Every structure is written in C-alpha cells, then in structure tokens.
Structure 1
Amino acid sequence: MSMFGGGFGGFNPGGRPSMGAAGRKGNGLPFAGIPPDLAEGVAKLEAREPGHGDPQAPFDPVADTGRKVTLLRLVIGRKGLLVAALLAILVETLLLQAGPYLVQVGIDHGIAARNVTVLSVATGAFVAAVLLTGLATAVRMRQSGRLAASATRDLRIRIFAHLQRMSLDYYTSEKAGVTMTRMTSDVESLQSLLADGFAQFVIQALTMVVVTGVLFHYNAGLAVITLLLVVPPLLLASLWFRRAADQGYNRQRDAIATMFADLSESLNGVRVVTAHNRQDRNIVAHREVVGGYRDANDFTGRINAVYGPGTSVIGLLGMAALLLIGGRMVLRGELSIGELTAFVLYLNAFFQPVQQLVQLYTQYQQARAAVGKINGLLGTPSTIVQRPSATDLPPVRGEIVFSDVTFAYVPGRPVLSGVNLHIAPGETVACVGPTGAGKSTLAKLVTRLYDPTAGAILIDGYDLRDVTLASLRRQIGVVPQEPFLFAGTLRDNIAFARPTTTDAEVWAAVDAVGLRDLVERSPEGLLTPLHERGQSVSSGERQLLALARAFLAEPRVVVLDEATSSLDLNTELRVEAALDRLLQGRTAILVAHRLSTAMRADRIIVVDNHQILETGTHTELLSANGPYAHMYATWSSHSTP
C-alpha cells in the first residue's frame, strides 16, 4: 500500500537435528559426545530450539477429535499467539492510515498558513509513523508465522495419525498421490493463508472500516455520494466472483490431486514402464492430466482477470466523481484543499484494500477447497475399529479358530463363505489352491487387516474384535509376499518390530536366516543404509530381511504369505532351514504356491470356491485322490526333469 494511498508500503511480504540410531555417524563409528568447550554453547542453542511434542507419546488407535477442520478452529486454540497477532495488526492498520491525515495537516496548517513549525512536526510525525509501521509489521509477521506453523504442525500430525488408523481397503481404493496431496499441497495452502493471508485480510478489512469513518468525519454528504456510486457495483461484482471462485478452486484442488496421483504411480512403477517401453505413452497420458490442471488454472485466471480490472475501473470512476464534486466544494469554500487532498487519499486507501482482498479471496478459496478435501479424508472412517471396551490380549498359546467365517471385499461377491477351521497351538498349516481362491485373505483375517463379513475368528478363545490391536499384533509375525523395506539401515529394518533390541539379538536373527554374507560384505555392516524400498538389495535378500524381522519379533503366531515365492532354489533351502527354527513351538499359517513348502507343514488345507475343500497331511490328501492330489500330480510333472 502506498503511503499516499493510506499506508507506508514496503513492509508486507510477498528442529533440532537427530543423531539417528545411537547417534552414529555415516562412517559407522559411534558418536563420541560433545567436546567440553562446546557444551555451554550447545546448551544455549538447545534452549532456544522450539519443542516438538513428547517423542514418547503413544499412538491411540481409537481416539480422534471427530471435529471438522475449520480456519477458526486452527487458530482459536492458540490464544496467546492469536491475541499478539491481532494487537500488532490493529496497531499496524491505525499507523497505516496516519499518512493522509498528516498530509492534510501539513497542507492546511503548514504550507497554507506558512507555518514552518507545523510543517516540520507533520513531517517528523510522518517519518515516525513509517518507522513504527515497520516495527508493527515485523511483530505481526513473526506472530502470524508462528501461529500458522503451530496450527499446521498439529494438523499434519492429525492427518498422519488418521492415515495410520485407516484399514487396508482405504489404501486399495485411494491413489497414493491423492493421499499425499492432502498432506502436502492442501496443508501448505492453509499455512500460506494463516501465515500472511489471514493478517492481510484483517488489515484490509479494518482499513476499509477506518477509512469509511474518516471520510464521514471530513464530509458526510460527500462520503455518502461517493460510496453510493461505488459500493453497489463492487458488491455485485464480488458476489459473482465468489460463486465462480467456489467452482474454480474446487476444480483446481481435484486436478492437482489427480496430477500427483499419476506422477506417484509412474515413479513407483518406473521399472515396469521401462521394461515395457511405455515412456512415450506415459508422457502422453501425463500431458492430458497436466492439461486438466492447466485448464483449471485458466478458469480461475479468467475470473480474476475480469474481477480485478473491473474493481479498478469502478474505483477510478468513483475518484473522478469525487474530484468533480469535491473540487466544486473547494471553490465554494465548503472544503479546504488539504481536506480534499486527504479525502482523495483516503478514498484511494478505500479501494486499494479491494484489490488486495481480490488476491486474498483467491488465496482463501484455495485454502477453503483444501479444508474441504482434508475434512473428506478425516471424515472417512476405518473399517477396522478398536472397540472402546477392547482388552489386552494376554500371552497366547496360538489356538486359532475360524467359526463360520464369510468375507467379501465387494458386497455381494464373497471370497470366503462359511469357513470353519481349527488350528491347534504350535501347528503349522499350509494353505494351497488356485490364484484368487482366498488363501491370502485367510492370512489377512488372522492379522485383522480385515474383519469378517460374518462369523468370528478367535485366538485362544478371544474374538479378535474384542482385543486391542496393539496386543494382538505384538503376538503375530507377518512376512508378506512383497516385503517392504524402509529408508534406513539394515539394522533399522531388521529391528523394525523391536527397535530397542540389542546388536547380539540382531546378529542372531541375521544368522538364523543366513544373511551374514550380505551384512559382512556391506560397506558399513548393520549400519549400511538401504535405498528407498530396498532397491539396493535383491528381491531374495529383501525377503530374507523380512524373515529376519519376523524372527526378531518373537511372535506366538506366524503368517507367511508366499514367503518363498521370490527366492531361487539355493536361497529357498536356506530360508526353509531358517523357517524350521522360526516356526518351532509357534502356530503358523503358510500361504504357499510351491507345494514343496506346503509339504513341510503339519497339515495342508485346499482353498477354492470360497471354502475349504479338503484338509489333511500330504500323505492323507494324496490318498484321498482329491483336488490336492491333482495339484500335486501337475506340479510333479512340471518339476521332474
């Protein structure tokens, strides 16, 4: 805002590092500690660092505020920062409007009266107002920035915690890029609004109120005539812009989410894209997605191009009318030249906030659309809900019972129907059957990644829905078909379920699955960092790391979903030897395509047509000459040289 338009422009703006596991450096050596001569300085630095919450805060799988996110709720809980920011805004606004009044005083009582003292005082007051405005702006920016950072930090944590509570069906139906947009672009829109947009909105709104009062103070009749000429068309234009902007910015948020989703999918599947030479077609497809985002931006640009210049024209026409009417009043002696000058400057100060509010409303609409998307995510319930009355599952022996279990991923299309199964403590059961028969579904139900549509699953007589999720999953170890490795060291990934475990226990797990060669040839041993998703090791080594992770967790029940599907013969033999040690004394469910793995189980169940067709040992099933015998005959014919 210009100093001659009611302000003194130029002041408006357009953690603690972690030491890692045990504080080790990249060379694998332990952190030696802070030298004594630097300790005092480090202590002072840490004292100035902001807090980031309790690092030991437990995760609650049930609790959530349940309240929708609103801009008011984001700031109302931080009353100290909010009050400080509002006070700074009020002071800044009043100081911004001192300029035209001091100009009027300088003209009427200094220049016209040939009084150098008054002119000097008015000039000095003008300079002081500029300096104080700068100070108030700095305080306002500091407080509003802290307010925005604090509010969006808590919002990010709330979104992340909600995502941690969501069940698997959410992630199978929602694209990863869309979910990432909620945490990145949408939250950033809110932070931008709270950091500067909120303060600017209050400043400009207060400016219009203050200027209106000043105009009526100078000359009520002239103020009424001027405002009647400009306010009605401004109101009509603003109502049109609001309706069009609501549509445009919602469309824009959807388009950017689609763009992120397509980018995420292409990057995650880059190996498949390269292998099948899909680069050109993917570029064409992404061009269409980006084009949709461009079209959404074009739409919002068009409505801004109409509204912005339109309000400028209305303001300039109003100022022309003011000069004509006010000039005639000066000629008649009804108004001084200084008062007319101040009136023109204040009127200009009245219209400049309108231009600012156009931009701020654009920013507000982006944030409003982002709030809608975030509330849509937070309002999506998890299908796996821990009951408030759930109790901790005590140490179990490992008896598992499926009681008339029916399950469907899609309503009306059951994958399992009326399944009854009893697994004794310490028994190893292998599930075999054609692809899509429901073998992996059985494993997911045991770990309560899904709940049965009908029936119940019990461990040691406890219904899985009646115990806490944490106590259940502490006693169940899972090795998925496609093991996931996190960014971090080999040790971090092996000790994922027990991060406080000792190095000796980690090495025991490494030896149990035959990973010592991998660890010893790695540059930094257990502290060797892995690339994203474990791309720096082979698929077989990723599976071995997942087995070591399960071994170290010491579960009472083990679920292995095609755990040897990606291993070569030599590695498979090493893993099977490790499995014998892992499964000893534990209940295990093996989902197996390779019958060589299934034959090692105490019992084999054949799953097909939504149910268990037969069950028994390898020898018993061969003697029954049923589906398993036919599967075995087919497998033998293809595996025999």
Structure 2
Amino acid sequence: MSMFGGGFGGPGAGPGSAPMGGLGGIGVNRGGGRQVGAGEGLPFAGIPAELMAGVAKLERSEPDHAEPADTFTHQPPRTGPLTMVSLIRGHGRTFAVAVALVIVETLLLQAGPLLVQIGIDHGIVPRDFDIVLLAAGLFAASVIAGWAASGARMRQTGRLAADTMRDLRVRVFAQLQRLSMDYYTREKAGVIMTRMTSDVEALQQLFQEGLAQFAVQGLTMVVVTVVLFSYNVQLASITLFLVVPLLLVASLWFRKASDVGYRRQRDTIGAMFSDLSENLYGVRVITAHNRQERNTAAHRAVVGAYRDANDFTGHINAIYGPGTSVIGMLGLAALLLIGGNMVLDGDLRIGELTAFVLYLNAFFAPVQQLVQLYTNYQQGRAAVLKLRELLAAAPTVPETPQAQPLPRVRGEIVFSGVTFGYEPGRPVLRDVELRIAPGETLAVVGPTGAGKSTLAKLVTRLHDPDSGRILIDGVDLRSVTLASLRRQIGVVPQEPFMFVGSLRDNIAFARPEATDDEIWSAVDAVGLRELVERTQLGLDAPLHERGQSVSSGQRQLLALARAFLAQPRVVVLDEATSNLDLRSELLVERALDRLLDGRTALLIAHRLSTAMRADRIIVVDASGILESGSHAELVATGGHYAGMYATWSART
C-alpha cells in the first residue's frame, strides 16, 4: 500500500507512529495569525492584549543579563584551560561583593561568644543589669545583621553561579558543535550528556553555596584561632596543639581517599547515562527482540557500579565525619579540665572560660561543615577535570585561521591521490584518483564496506583524507571556511534526522530565512503538497522527536525538500532512495531531476535504478575504482557492473 494513502502517519507510517494531522487540538487565533493547536510544540499564538501591561511590568523588573561571552566559531577560542578561577573571570564585581559579604557574615557570626563573655564578666558577676541588657541587645543586633549579610551573600553567590554556569553551558555546547564526527564515533552519547547535566550541576551547586560556605567556615577557624590566642595563649596552645595534628592527619587521609571516590563516581554516572541513552534510542529494537529482561539485568549491573562508587564515598565520609567529632569532643574535655583548673586558681575568669568553650566549639563546628563542603568541592573538581578534557579536545577537521570563504562554485570535484581510513593503518580508500565535471551526476556502486559513503563524507569535509587532496573548482577544501563550503553542498543521508518542531522548521533547516512561498516550492518539488495540505495545520504540523510521527519514507521526502530549498551547487545523496516504496521512488526521482539540474551530484546508490539515471557510474571495491562509464558502456564491457545489472534485472 502506498504511504500516501492517509496523510502523515497514515497507512504508510511505521509502527508506533502517530497521525501528524491528529496531534493536539485545533485552536483559533482571533488576531488573524496562524491557526495553532493545543498540543505541545505548536506555534505561539501571541500574548492577549489584556495581559500585555502585566508582561511589560514583569519585563521591567527582570535583571539585565549580559549576553554570554562564548559564541560559535569553527576555530577553537584562544582561552586557557578550564579552572574554577577562569569560570569567575568576567564576573569580578559580583565575586568581589560576595567575598566582602562573606567576611562581614563571618565576623558577625563570631560576635556572639564575645558578647556572652562581656555579659557574664561585666554584667552578671558584678550584678550590673545595664551591661547585661546592652550585651543582650548587641547580641540580638548581631544576629539580625548576620542574617541580613547572609541573605545578601546568598543572592550574590546565586547570581554568580547562574551567570558562570550559563556561560559554561554555552561554551560546552559550542565546543560540541565544533568537534568533528570521529569524536561522536568514539564517545557515547550518554557520556556527553553527563558533561552538560550532572557535571555542570555539580559546579553550579559548588558556586552557589559550596565555595561561599567553604570560605565562611575556613575564615571562621582563622578568626576563632586568633580570638582564642588573644584570650589565653597557654590554654589556646595546649588545646589546639592537642587537636589540630589529629585533624590534619585525618583530613589528609580523607582528601586522598575522596579523590579516588569521586573520580569513580563521575565515571560510573557517565556509564549509567550512556546505557540509559542507548536503551531509549533502541527501544523499538529491544522490544522487537524481547530483550527487556536481559537489558534490565545489564542496566542493573551498570547502576550497581555507580552504587558501589557511592558506597565507597559514603564509607570514607562515615569514618571522617564521626572521627573529627570524637577529636573535637576530646578537645573540649581537655579544655574543661585545664580551663576549669585555671578558673579555680584565679588565673581565668568564668566568662572567659565560657567564651573559650563557645569559640572552641565554633572552631570544631566548621570541621563538620567542611566534610560535606569538601565532598561538594571534590565533585565540582572532578566535573572541572571532565569538562576541561572536553573543551581541550581539538577538531580533527579544523578550520585554519587563514581559511578564505569559498566563492560560488561551478562544481568540479577532484580526488587527487586520496587515501583515508577511520582507524590508523586500515585504509578504506587508497590513492583514489577521480574527477567529477561541473554539472555531472556521478553514481557510486559497489559492495558494502567498499568506501562509497566515505567518498560522500570526504566531499562534505566531515573527515579529511590521510593523504592526498580533494579540490572543488581547483581549491583545496582545507583552505576554505567550513561554513562557505557547506552552504554550497546539499546532503541527503540514508537516514535523515528530523528535529522537534513544525514541518516548516524542518524543511527550512538549512535556510531559516526562507519564505513560505519558497518552502511550498520545495514541497511541490518532491511531491508533498497534497500530503501536507491534508493535515489541518499544514506547514505548522508538528513533528515528534527524531520524526517518529512520520514513516521513514516520509522523512526521506522531507529531507529532499530540505535539500531542494537550500539550493546547493553540489548535491550528495547517500542511499537517498533506499527506504522508499516504488511509487514514492518515482516521485523522488522526478524531484531529483529538478534538484540535480545544472548541479554537480554524487549519488551513493544500492539501487541500480537510481544509478542508471546518472551521467557516469563508477564501481568500487576494497581495492579502489574498478570501472567507470555510463550505464550502457559498463553493460557493454561485460565487467563487474554488467554482472550486478544482470543479477538486478533477474530479480525485478
């Protein structure tokens, strides 16, 4: 049955496809704009007039966020390695205000024990109620001021975290757009996702609260140490020198162990995301082959490795946290014993001992906080290392600083001594010599793995040859800007990718500025007008993720419309008709005649019916180009192509 029988997602749609015209409800835009549906992803109908005043008021209250510093360029930016300091660079004013507020907050937090000491020694002991009242009032004022300073500091650190992470996300996304195809062949999609999700989130948590609290608690220990020695050098020395060495040894052990633990955590969470991503993308194959139980068991093992990493970090935290608590309690016990004896001997006042106990407790309390904060720091540090590795990766298909824009081409393509392999020492193409004349349609046929699609990837410069050159109108592809090259080359892959959005968005993907008339011309060129008009929303009909709401054949036709609209000078079709039924293939071939008219074309074909339409055919295998000529010439020579044609004719 033809896939054109029932509109998008009709009888020709694959299993699980949803009818395109039936997605979402149909609304009415009384302002005269496009019709929109109630479903997610449909066009925005506009803000009602009665709400505009409120929207304007809300916009005026929004802070003015500067544009991110990083934008996309094919040439990697000349920046140093990613560090926490480099992330703050450019936000110095916000950082400076946050640091000042941290100092104020810390000093206010430590005013309490001093006021308690004054209240006891100068108010309670001599029975002076005015001093007691003054100390209590100042205590309350310091608490309120500390609360205000803490709130202001949190606003500053929150803004710092939001701004730096926005810049980082843009920088990482631009780098992912910049990297070459072989990076995505080596790296799993789930691992890449962790860079933009859990790694950035770990850094955001650290910048928003972790670093500030780290500074507050660390500064608290410094301030308290100074205060303790100002009260009584002998008592402070005895108490701290009993405790600090033990804390130092425990902290050094914890740092070394946690470094190992949090690296394991980052690696295992990446593996978990990768396995999840692969299972989501392959859910149809998993269901078809009844692999749910086995895949669940495999995922359980992956999750188990992440659990083991968490168990390890939890174990070292369980040792370090209670251990430091015990050390602190022993220090307090020593203080009470020694200090109490000094009070009895008249060498220390009761208020000073009370303040000493409170300050020493304030010295040990940050240690407990620093355990958790160091955990957050280690997570952030591990994230920085992973992100630094990603940002340091260099594209294997670079754009040189001297690259020049490619002028409008006639379309001559020359392979000169081209050798290429995806793995070192295992070439797929060897010393290829090939010339495609301007306006010529060249078809490439041959067995699977012979390098047909590799030729197409080299022409579009998704890869560079290991040796030799590829020229377009006599210009080496390495010497021109990638944008100017790819603007003049249209590509229709074997499995075209559709994005979430409308039909209009997907067809105009390479030319977002195209008018509706131009889009409809592309739709007509591939014979899709009747089909599009059957949907209630027309060009505004939504597509689901990866185009799952349409059949594979319909996706191919949309990809051809996308290429037609781009109006390239060179067209590369990689098995572009392999997923079409006979009726669709006839429509596409008629559309190809219009698309290829006056343009150079490279057709990677399994179907000889497509290859026969080319001006010239080359036959390739692992040893290189075996034959070259028109369909009639190759059949007449009785070689490899003639054998392929005889086999194909016998089966049709």
Q: TM-score, normalised on structure 2? A: 0.92
Whether 1:602 aligns to 2:625 is no
What is the CA-CA distance between 1:52 and the residue it aligns to? 5.5
Mean Cα deviation higher: 375-384 or 172-181: 375-384
**Residue of 458, 462, 468 corresponding to 2:475:** 462
| Local SS of the residue matching 1:607 | strand
The residue that corresponds to 2:231 in the other structure is: 218
- 8 Å contact kept, 2:499–2:546: yes
> How much does 1:384 deviate?
0.3
Equivalent-residue separation in structure 2 for 1:462 and 1:58 (angstroms): 28
Range that drifts further, 105-114 or 221-230: 105-114
How big is the shift at 1:113?
1.3
Structure 1 residue 560: deviation in Å? Answer: 0.3
Tell me the SS of whatever aligns to 2:469.
strand
Partner residue in 1 for 2:84: 71
Q: CA deviation at 1:88?
A: 0.9
Matched residue type, 1:80: R
One-letter code of the match for 2:500? A
* Structure 2 counterpart of 1:637: 650
* Conservation of the 8 A alpha-carbon contact between 2:489 and 2:572: yes
Structure 2 residue corresponding to 1:120, chosen from 124, 129, 133: 133
On the 8 A contact 2:71/2:170 being kept in 1, the answer is: no
Structure 2 letter corresponding to 1:300: T
Superposed counterparts of 1:212-291, under 5 Å:
212-291=225-304
The answer (yes or no) to whether the contact 1:438–1:610 under 8 Å persists in 2 is no
Q: Report the alpha carbon displacement of residue 75 of structure 1 after superposing the two structures with TM.
A: 1.4
* Alignment map for 1:573-588 (pairs within 5 Å): 573-588=586-601
Separation in structure 1 between the aligned mates of residue 500 and residue 115 of structure 2, nearest angstrom:
62
Q: CA deviation at 1:55?
A: 9.6
1:627 aligned partner: 640
Residue of structure 2 in register with 1:46 after alignment = 59
Task: Report the 3-state secondary structure (helix = DSSP H, G, I; strand = E; otherwise coil) of the residue aligned with 1:383.
Answer: coil
Q: Deviations over 1:404-449 (max 9, x none)?
A: 1111111111100011111111110000000010000000000000
Paired position in structure 1 for 2:320: 307
How much has 1:49 moved relative to structure 2? 2.8
Aligned with residue 159 of structure 1, among 155, 163, 172: 172
1:107 and 2:123 are equivalent in the alignment: no
Structure 2 partner of 1:6:
none
Q: By how many angstroms is 1:25 displaced?
A: 5.0
What is the distance in 2 between the residues matched to 1:598 and 1:29? 41
Matching residue within 207, 213, 216 for 1:203 = 216
In structure 2, give the amino acid aligned to 1:423.
I
1:412 aligns with 2:401: no
SS at match of 1:582: helix
Amino acid at match of 1:163: L
- CA distance, structure 2, for counterparts of residue 537 and residue 263 of structure 1: 25
What is the SS of the residue equivalent to 1:47?
A: helix
Corresponding residue for 2:548?
535
Shift of the 55–24 alpha-carbon distance from structure 1 to 2, 3 Å rule, reads: farther
Q: Which of 52, 68, 81 is residue 94 of structure 2 equivalent to?
A: 81
Spell out the pairing of 1:215-614 with structure 2 (5 A cutoff). Answer: 215-614=228-627
- How far residue 111 of structure 1 moved from its aligned partner, in angstroms, is 1.4
Task: Give how far 1:339 is off.
Answer: 0.6
Unaligned residue ranges in structure 2 (runs of 5+): 1-32
Matched residue, 2:4 = none
1:137 paired residue among 150, 156, 159: 150
Report deviation, 1:50: 4.1
> Residue in 2 aligned with 1:12?
none
For residue 106 of structure 1, report the CA deviation from its aligned partner.
1.3
Identity %: 68
Change (3 A) 1:431 1:273: same
| Deviation (angstroms), 1:48 | 3.1
- SS of the residue 1:455 aligns to: strand
- Relative contact order, higher structure (CA 8 A, sep 6+): 2
When residues 142 and 326 of structure 1 are mapped into structure 2, their CA distance, relative to the original with a 3 A threshold, is same
Question: Would you say the 8 A contact 1:562–1:591 is kept in 2?
Answer: yes
Return 5+ residue gaps in structure 1 as ranges: 1-21
Q: State the alpha-carbon separation in 2 of the partners of residues 603 and 443 from structure 1.
A: 16
Output the CA distance in 2 between the equivalents of 1:38 and 1:327. Answer: 70
Q: Which amino acid aligns with 2:406?
A: L
Shift of 1:523: 3.2
Amino acid at match of 1:227: L
Amino acid at match of 1:604: I
Distance between the aligned counterparts of 1:207 and 1:405, measured in 2?
66
1:110-141 Cα shifts (integer Å, max 9, x gaps): 11111111111111111111111111011000
Q: Deviations over 1:369-403 (max 9, x none)?
A: 11111111112111000011010000001111111
Question: 2: CA distance between counterparts of 1:52 and 1:172?
Answer: 37
Report the AA paired with residue 200 of structure 1: Q
Q: 1:172 corresponds to which residue? A: 185
**Structure-2 separation of matches of 1:34 and 1:467:** 49
Q: Is the 8 A contact 2:35 2:537 kept in 1?
A: no
1:185 is aligned, of 180, 188, 198, to 198
Structure 2 residue identity aligned to 1:370: A
Cα offset, 1:34, TM superposition: 5.9
Deviation of residue 66 (structure 1)? 3.8
Following TM superposition, by how much is the alpha carbon of 1:305 offset from its aligned partner in structure 2, in angstroms?
Answer: 0.5
For the residues of structure 2 that align with 1:557 and 1:53, how far apart are their CA atoms?
A: 40
SS of 2:433's partner is: strand
Q: Over aligned residues, Cα RMSD in angstroms?
A: 1.6
Q: 1:543 to 1:392 in 2, by over 3 A?
A: same
Question: d(CA) in 2 for partners of 1:342 and 1:30?
Answer: 64
CA–CA distance in 1 between the matches of 2:413 and 2:228? 81
Residue 103 of structure 1 and its aligned partner are, at CA, apart by 1.0
CA deviations on 1:211-230 (whole Å, 9 max, x unpaired) are 00110111110000000110
Q: Is 2:71–2:174's contact at 8 Å kept on the other side of the alignment? A: no
> Is the 8 Å Cα contact of residues 24 and 30 (structure 1) preserved in structure 2?
no
Secondary structure, in 3 states, of the residue corresponding to 2:237?
helix
Give TM-score, length-normalised by structure 1. Answer: 0.94
How much has 1:63 moved relative to structure 2? 3.4
How far apart are residue 41 of structure 1 and its match?
4.0
Q: Which amino acid aligns with 1:601?
A: A
**How has the CA–CA distance of structure 1 residues 509 and 448 changed in structure 2, closer, same or farther, with 3 Å as cutoff?**
same
Q: Quote the offset at 1:42 in angstroms.
A: 3.0
SS across alignment from 1:281 = helix
Q: CA deviation at 1:638?
A: 1.6
Measure, in 1, the Cα distance between the counterparts of 2:142 and 2:638. Answer: 97
Moved more, 507-516 or 318-327: 507-516
Distance 2:562 2:64 in 1: 33
Amino acid at match of 2:595: L
Q: Distance in 1 between matches of 2:60 and 2:405?
A: 40
Report 1:25-64 matches (<5 A). 26=37, 31=45, 35=49, 38-51=51-64, 59-64=72-77
Aligned partners of 1:91 and 1:356: how far apart in 2? 19
CA distances 1:528-551 after superposition (whole Å, capped 9, x unpaired): 111100000010000000000000
Per-residue deviation, 1:518: 2.8
Residue deviations 1:333-368 (CA, integer Å, cap 9, x gap): 111111100000000000001111111111111111
- Change beyond 3 A, Cα 1:583–1:540: same
What letter matches 1:362 in structure 2? T
Number of aligned residue pairs: give it.
Answer: 617
